[in-house]
A and B are shown apart, each in its own frame.
Chain A
Amino acid sequence: MENLQLIIPELFISIMIMFLLIFGVFKKNSSQLVYNLTTVTLVATLALIINLDTQIQSSLFNNSYNIDSLARFMKILLVLSGIFVMLSSSKYIQISKISKIEYPILILCSILGMMVMISSNDLIVFYMGLELQSLALYVLASFNRDNLLSTESGLKYFVLSALSSGLLLYGCSLIYGFSETTNFNQIMVNTREIEYGLTFGIVFILVGLAFKISAVPFHMWAPDVYQGSPTSVTIFFALLPKIAALTVFIRFLYIPFYELGDQWQMIIIFLSIASMVFGAVAAIGQKNLKRLIAYSSISHMGYALAGLSTGTTQGVQSSITYITIYLVMNLAFFCCLFMLKRNDEYYENIDDLSGLSKNHPLLSLSLLVVLFSLAGIPPLAGFFAKFYIFVAVINEKMYFLAIVGLLATVIAAFYYLRIIKIIYFDPEKEKFESKHNLGLKFTLVASTFFILAYFIYPSGIVDIISQININ
């Protein structure tokens, strides 16, 4: 076990979870302190991950746990998003009276599960990570237990997620049955020939994963859970699980079943097109911003999957770029949501934004930038995200996918424009509070600046991501 140092970040988080649990129980009224300590823990974890030797490409525990460039990048992304989520939602948690010690600890558990998922190179390890993050998320979704919508969303997520986990587990067992192993690399060696059982296994696992990133037709939970959960949990839902699930998608498709590309490619293309189109169309009628962003994220996941469906390294890299930019855009959007506060009450309907630009010019400007970026209009970051995807897709001569995707962006542009219309063209309403805590403001400014200034130096992120090798 000389390589134990490679999983120091994971070990550190585990120790901190246990420590914070005990600390929180013994020290009275320490919820805010635990919350802050959690943020510190995440920052320390980030430092530990960055501190790891980048050259090492290593597998631990009988080749079931991968520490490679993909895992490293995704973990940095994950923990960084976690830090920003914690920074931006601290005030919300206090005001919504869900500031309990369990809240940050559950978030840590979930992040730990995701880190395990990201590094997993084995079906069982992957499943363990998945369940760790899911169990924490069930509780988080219904954390505002006095609220009917919140409890409903928690239950709904639990039931549907359990179903999908069941399917996924069944898929795992099928694959184990046909390949006699659970290790990804070993599966590749053992499955040179296509067998029906194996294909079924792949399909079942893809269903489970599609559920996690809420791709159509496994998206039904997303709008309700996004709307019902406390906003601080919704932002978590919108960002972090997507990173982990996408990484597993990449590993699962590109390591054990890379050779069987023609088996899964059509499925991914279908998921991608269905998500892009459905997400765009269904969002048009929404009145609640959180529900709308749920459909919007369904649509965005469609684009990320379009990159994966190419079956090329370039496609995977474009997906990773996409998810990175998607994270920043959603982070900025939710920061704006956190700012719609008046008399200790948060507003989340589209109509509440009416005429926002007259009273809050800077907040509206950020929303404007974020929404145009989500719509994929140049020169904002969202355009480049889509651009890379389409470059990869068209390189594989998948013109149909590219044209459908681009037409879906036009449909999607409509509902983003509708919000902009309400902010800028409609008569003004009562003012919102203009005082916000520093973490929230910093997160919003940083993410908006990233979106706005991305075009000046687009190579930066691409260069980092192009160093990730998949196999």
Chain B
Amino acid sequence: MNFPILSSLILLPTIGALFIFFVRSSNSQYQSSKYVALFITLANFFLSLYLWIIFDKSIVDFQFVEEREWISGFVNYKVGVDGISILFILLTTFITPICVITVNATIKNRLKDFLIAILILETFMIGVFCSLDLVVFYLFFEAGLIPMFLIIGIWGGERRVYSAFKFFLYTLLGSVLMLVAIISIYWITGTTDVIKLYELGIDAKYQNLLWLAFFSSFAVKTPMWPVHTWLPDAHVEAPTAGSVLLAAILLKMAGYGFIRFSLGLFPDASLYFVPLVYALSLIAIIYTSLVALMQEDMKKLIAYSSVAHMGFVTLGIFTMTQQGIEGSIFQMISHGLVSAALFLCVGVVYDRLHTRLINRYGGLVSIMPKYAIVFMVFTLGALGLPGTSGFIGEFLVLMGAFKKNILVATIASLGVILGAAYMLWLYKRIIFGKLINDDVKKMVDLKRFEIVTLWLLVLPIIFFGFYPEPLINSIEVSVANMIDMNDLDKINKLALGE
């Protein structure tokens, strides 16, 4: 396979962005630039689908590896995918076209710039998920800040400046320590190549500090309690497409980073810090669920629910069991779909009423029945009803957790109940009840493009809820290999005194 398929995936959106940039702007051509963006992102989606099909799920090694000299004698540009990263690439390329479709209603000014920002962001997101070199990873990881900062700041709501700054500075502050750690790894081992590092291993005496440095970056990005406060702000102020990308993909970079780097490179340290991660995850699950219960702003509620869901992800990853890690990955994919869908749903009613306050709505079921149906599916997906993808992820995570620590698993299970509480209550307050406000009565049901985007998300949520096999199949070998390679099982047993 000589065709550099991964590099094409990374570069294609940027080429599209350049194309849109150089086409002269006039109002009539705004539409055409939208079609260009849609075409490019769809092409990217089909390319990644093709990648998934020809990807050999039974092989442990990284596939489609490309390596080129980059900074001479120091860093090589190296990309490749395994069963885990390919799913995230697929998620990215699936969500981005949906975002492009939604710009119709949400973006009123500077459409061209918005599309360019989204396309550039897609490049960076795909780059994060397939880079196999720490420096290249850092580059993509950080570069994503620029387009997201602009998306929140230019097209956001009233407090957009505050939110954009908070988002940028929090994430940057978290990441700088990771850069120190990456450079230190280079001087300790002589390479930043992830595959070589997996083989070499890092001396246990350095692992704890390095793990903490990586953790500081990923914890902010995940976000874990107590550094989660940027997320509700960023979500509330970002335009719909921005919220969708943020919730569906940007947060997943951190979960992916935990699996790929924290577990993969520092297994001893990961084990050492398990109690810390458990504690923070449980606080995130319980505390932010409670906070979500009290929210009056829809987007804020969903943002806090994201923090809680990501708590399950971090919990699952650090159970270091096959089920736990698989569950986390599944949960991330599922949450990517569900939270994207929920933000789109909020966007739908926001475009009509221009408010996100829950008590301004009520009784939508009688005037927007189609909306009520899809919103129902997503609500159930978010609370993890069996038959939706949300269930599989949470179930596997809890299974992994029960294997390790019954107390932790029990507390985490409480989070599932709380999740059901705030999601159902949200649904009740918006969809059911009496139609009180006159302007709500004037709201119209879903338009055609909204139906398309929302049903596109309904399908995978239900499909993977009933038939998770394709996803599990794809990650199984890679996760098992990750556990084998680092002797996570053995380490676990030692720790348990078996």
Which A residues are within 8 Å of any B CB, using their own CB?
A: 361, 372, 377-379, 383, 387, 390-391, 394-395, 399, 402-403, 406-407, 409-410, 413-414, 417, 420-421, 424-425, 455, 458-459, 462-463
* CB proximity of A461 to chain B, nearest CB, Å: 10
Q: Is the CB of A459 within 8 A of B187?
A: no
Q: Is the CB of A394 within 8 A of B70?
A: no
Q: Is the CB of A410 within 8 A of B154?
A: no
Q: B318 contacts which chain A residues (CB < 8 A)?
A: none
**Interchain CA distance A383-B168 in the complex, whole Å:** 16
Q: A424 contacts which chain B residues (CB < 8 A)?
A: 150, 153-154
Q: Is the CB of B187 within 8 A of A425?
A: no
The closest CB in chain B to the CB of A399 belongs to B180
In which size bucket is the chain B interface? Answer: 20 to 34
**Interchain CA distance A402-B178 in the complex, whole Å:** 12
The closest CB in chain A to the CB of B154 belongs to A424
CB < 8 Å: which of B165, B176, B180 contacts A421? B165
Q: Is the CB of A417 within 8 A of B71?
A: no
- B 311-350 binary contact with A (CB < 8 Å = 1; else 0): 0000000000000000000000000000000000000000
Q: Is the CB of B186 within 8 A of A391?
A: yes
- B 235-246 binary contact with A (CB < 8 Å = 1; else 0): 000000000000
Q: Is the CB of A406 within 8 A of B161?
A: no
Q: Is the CB of A410 within 8 A of B143?
A: no
Q: B71 contacts which chain A residues (CB < 8 A)?
A: 458-459, 462
The closest CB in chain A to the CB of B75 belongs to A458
Q: Is the CB of A458 within 8 A of B70?
A: yes
**Interchain CA distance A213-B452 in the complex, whole Å:** 60
Q: Is the CB of A402 within 8 A of B153?
A: no
Q: B143 contacts which chain A residues (CB < 8 A)?
A: 377-379
**Interchain CA distance A181-B242 in the complex, whole Å:** 67
**Interchain CA distance A383-B153 in the complex, whole Å:** 22
Q: A361 contacts which chain B residues (CB < 8 A)?
A: 113
**Interchain CA distance A27-B149 in the complex, whole Å:** 56
CB < 8 Å: which of A379, A406, A417 contacts B165? A417
Q: B161 contacts which chain A residues (CB < 8 A)?
A: 421, 425
Q: Is the CB of B183 within 8 A of A391?
A: yes
CB < 8 Å: which of B135, B139, B160, B179 contacts A406? B179
Query: Which residues of chain B (149-195) have a CB below 8 Å from chain A?
Result: 149-150, 153-154, 160-161, 164-165, 168-169, 172-173, 176-177, 179-180, 183-184, 186-187
Q: Verify if B145 is at the interface (C-beta below 8 Å from A).
A: yes
Q: A378 contacts which chain B residues (CB < 8 A)?
A: 138-139, 142-143
The closest CB in chain A to the CB of B155 belongs to A425
**Interchain CA distance A463-B138 in the complex, whole Å:** 23
Q: Verify if B438 is at the interface (C-beta below 8 Å from A).
A: no
Question: Shortest 3 CB-CB distances between A and B: which pairs?
Answer: A406-B176, A459-B72, A378-B139
Q: Is the CB of A417 within 8 A of B168?
A: yes
Q: Is the CB of A406 within 8 A of B150?
A: no
| A interface: dominant SS | helix
Q: Verify if B199 is at the interface (C-beta below 8 Å from A).
A: no
Q: Is the CB of B180 within 8 A of A402?
A: yes
Q: Is the CB of B153 within 8 A of A425?
A: yes
Q: Verify if B146 is at the interface (C-beta below 8 Å from A).
A: yes
Given contacts A410-B172, A459-B71, contact A403 B154 (CB under 8 A): no
**Interchain CA distance A417-B203 in the complex, whole Å:** 39
Q: B469 contacts which chain A residues (CB < 8 A)?
A: none
* CB proximity of A465 to chain B, nearest CB, Å: 12
CB < 8 Å: which of A394, A414, A455 contacts B183? A394
Q: A407 contacts which chain B residues (CB < 8 A)?
A: 173, 176
* CB proximity of B319 to chain A, nearest CB, Å: 32
Q: A379 contacts which chain B residues (CB < 8 A)?
A: 139, 143
CB < 8 Å: which of B69, B145, B154, B168 contacts A459? B69
* CB proximity of A325 to chain B, nearest CB, Å: 14
**Interchain CA distance A88-B123 in the complex, whole Å:** 34
The closest CB in chain A to the CB of B141 belongs to A378
| B interface: dominant SS | helix
The closest CB in chain B to the CB of A361 belongs to B113
Q: Is the CB of A410 within 8 A of B176?
A: yes
The closest CB in chain B to the CB of A397 belongs to B187
The closest CB in chain A to the CB of B152 belongs to A425
**Interchain CA distance A110-B161 in the complex, whole Å:** 44
CB < 8 Å: which of A387, A413, A421, A459 contacts B172? A413
The closest CB in chain A to the CB of B69 belongs to A459
Q: How many inter-chain contacts with C-beta < 8 Å in the A-B complex?
A: 82
Q: A399 contacts which chain B residues (CB < 8 A)?
A: 180, 184
Given contacts A424-B150, A425-B161, contact A459 B70 (CB under 8 A): yes
**Interchain CA distance A78-B430 in the complex, whole Å:** 66
The closest CB in chain A to the CB of B116 belongs to A365
Q: Is the CB of A406 within 8 A of B164?
A: no
CB < 8 Å: which of B74, B146, B153, B165 contacts A377? B146
Which B residues are within 8 Å of any A CB, using their own CB?
A: 69-72, 74, 113, 135, 138-139, 142-143, 145-146, 149-150, 153-154, 160-161, 164-165, 168-169, 172-173, 176-177, 179-180, 183-184, 186-187
Q: B169 contacts which chain A residues (CB < 8 A)?
A: 410, 413-414, 417
**Interchain CA distance A421-B159 in the complex, whole Å:** 13
Q: A413 contacts which chain B residues (CB < 8 A)?
A: 168-169, 172
**Interchain CA distance A394-B165 in the complex, whole Å:** 29
What are 14 A-B pairs with beta-carbon distances under 8 A? A377-B146, A387-B179, A394-B180, A399-B184, A402-B180, A406-B179, A410-B173, A413-B168, A417-B149, A417-B164, A425-B160, A458-B71, A459-B69, A459-B71
Given contacts A421-B165, A458-B70, contact A377 B176 (CB under 8 A): no
Q: A395 contacts which chain B residues (CB < 8 A)?
A: 187
The closest CB in chain A to the CB of B183 belongs to A394
Q: B160 contacts which chain A residues (CB < 8 A)?
A: 425
* CB proximity of A448 to chain B, nearest CB, Å: 14
**Interchain CA distance A411-B440 in the complex, whole Å:** 45
Q: B176 contacts which chain A residues (CB < 8 A)?
A: 403, 406-407, 409-410
Given contacts A377-B146, A413-B169, A462-B72, 4 further A-B contacts (CB under 8 A): A410-B173, A413-B168, A459-B69, A459-B72
* CB proximity of A439 to chain B, nearest CB, Å: 24
* CB proximity of B130 to chain A, nearest CB, Å: 16
Q: B186 contacts which chain A residues (CB < 8 A)?
A: 391
Q: A387 contacts which chain B residues (CB < 8 A)?
A: 135, 179, 183
**Interchain CA distance A390-B179 in the complex, whole Å:** 9
The closest CB in chain B to the CB of A358 belongs to B110
Q: A390 contacts which chain B residues (CB < 8 A)?
A: 179-180, 183
**Interchain CA distance A361-B154 in the complex, whole Å:** 13
Q: Is the CB of B177 within 8 A of A403?
A: yes
Q: B145 contacts which chain A residues (CB < 8 A)?
A: 377
**Interchain CA distance A387-B74 in the complex, whole Å:** 12
* CB proximity of B273 to chain A, nearest CB, Å: 20
**Interchain CA distance A395-B185 in the complex, whole Å:** 10
Q: A383 contacts which chain B residues (CB < 8 A)?
A: 139, 142
**Interchain CA distance A394-B179 in the complex, whole Å:** 11
Q: A394 contacts which chain B residues (CB < 8 A)?
A: 180, 183-184, 187
Q: Which interface residue of B135, B149, B186 has the most chain A CB atoms within 10 A? A: B149
Q: A458 contacts which chain B residues (CB < 8 A)?
A: 70-71
**Interchain CA distance A216-B420 in the complex, whole Å:** 57
Q: A402 contacts which chain B residues (CB < 8 A)?
A: 180, 183
Q: A372 contacts which chain B residues (CB < 8 A)?
A: 146
* CB proximity of A416 to chain B, nearest CB, Å: 10
Q: A459 contacts which chain B residues (CB < 8 A)?
A: 69-72
Q: Which interface residue of B154, B176, B187 has the most chain A CB atoms within 10 A? A: B176
* CB proximity of A68 to chain B, nearest CB, Å: 23
Given contacts A379-B139, A463-B72, contact A414 B165 (CB under 8 A): yes
Given contacts A394-B180, A394-B187, A406-B176, contact A455 B139 (CB under 8 A): yes
Q: A414 contacts which chain B residues (CB < 8 A)?
A: 165, 169
Q: Is the CB of B179 within 8 A of A421?
A: no
* CB proximity of B89 to chain A, nearest CB, Å: 19
* CB proximity of B164 to chain A, nearest CB, Å: 7
